[in-house]
Amino acid sequence: MEENARLWDVFLDVQRGLPRQGPGNRDSTSRALSLCGDLPENPRVLDIGCGPGMQTLALAQELDSYVTAVDFPAEYLDQLKTCIEAAEVMEQVEALAGDMNALAFAENTFDLIWAEGSAYIMGFAQALEAWWPLKKPGGYLAATELVWLRPEAERPAEATAFFADEYPAMTDVKTTANMFRDHGHDLVGHFTLPDAAPVWRQL
């Protein structure tokens, strides 16, 4: 228990002060959002693992929507509140402390579920299974996932060993994409984050 608390403190300390707590950038958020082509006007959005809310702000502004942003660390939510106040979108964003493993929302609530760099905490397949029922029929779930971009034979041995310990569920693009279909869902598109975005590259 003490070790888990220490590791969590290290995690927060490493990321403290960064504008984002995950891979991505505004252009990538916009690109992913463009794949969600037939959202209703002023859709209701759930941002899971929102961090300090860079993508939360983008969703609220680009969709002119109401966004429920959920994360666990209080300091992330404090940063989010500062961000939305500065952008004057306080009426469009609700910041909630919550556990992504046990979200207290009714089924068929959201037009769009968003998770930039957070689904790995549960495991991507587990996140799809847990979060999909919260989506309205015809709605979307958009998420980023850490994947191998090189064939197994071309992966650096050090990186392979590291992720075997730290994220053994990590797989490749095709397998990750098929997780949507395996759960009975349509996949409307996917792309690799560009070099311009903070991301683990060419693993």
Q: Residue 132's domain is classified under what CATH number?
A: 3.40.50.150
Query: Which DSSP category does 23 fall into?
Result: S
Q: Decide which of 12 and 70 is more confident.
A: 70
List, in sequence order, the alpha helices (H) in the chain: 2-15, 26-34, 54-63, 74-86, 124-131, 157-166, 173-182
| Residue 19: predicted pLDDT | 57
Question: What percent of the chain has pLDDT above 90?
Answer: 68
| Residue 58: predicted pLDDT | 94
Lowest model confidence (mean pLDDT) among 3-12, 61-70, 102-111, 142-151: 3-12
**4 assigned to some structural domain:** no
Whether residue 197 is predicted with pLDDT greater than 90 in this model: the reply is no
**62 assigned to some structural domain:** yes
Confidence of residue 173 (pLDDT cuts 50, 70, 90): very high
Range of the domain at 137: 41-145
| Contacts of residue 19, Cβ cutoff 8 Å, sequence gap at least 6 | 52, 54
> How many domains does the chain fold into?
1
* 147 backbone φψ class: left, alpha, beta (φ>0; ψ -120 to 50): beta
Burial class (CB in 10 A: 0-12, 13-18, 19+), 138: exposed
**124 assigned to some structural domain:** yes
| Residue 17: predicted pLDDT | 55
Render pLDDT for 38-96 as a digit per residue (tens, 0 to 9): 999 999 999 999 988 899 999 999 999 999 999 988 888 999 999 899 989 999 999 99
Confidence of residue 153 (pLDDT cuts 50, 70, 90): very high
| Contacts of residue 160, Cβ cutoff 8 Å, sequence gap at least 6 | none
Query: Using an 8 Å Cβ cutoff, are 14 and 35 in contact?
Result: no
Lowest model confidence (mean pLDDT) among 30-34, 52-56, 162-166, 195-199: 195-199
201/203 Cα distance (integer angstroms): 6
Return the amino acid letter for 46.
Answer: L
**12 assigned to some structural domain:** no
Query: Using an 8 Å Cβ cutoff, are 73 and 50 in contact?
Result: no
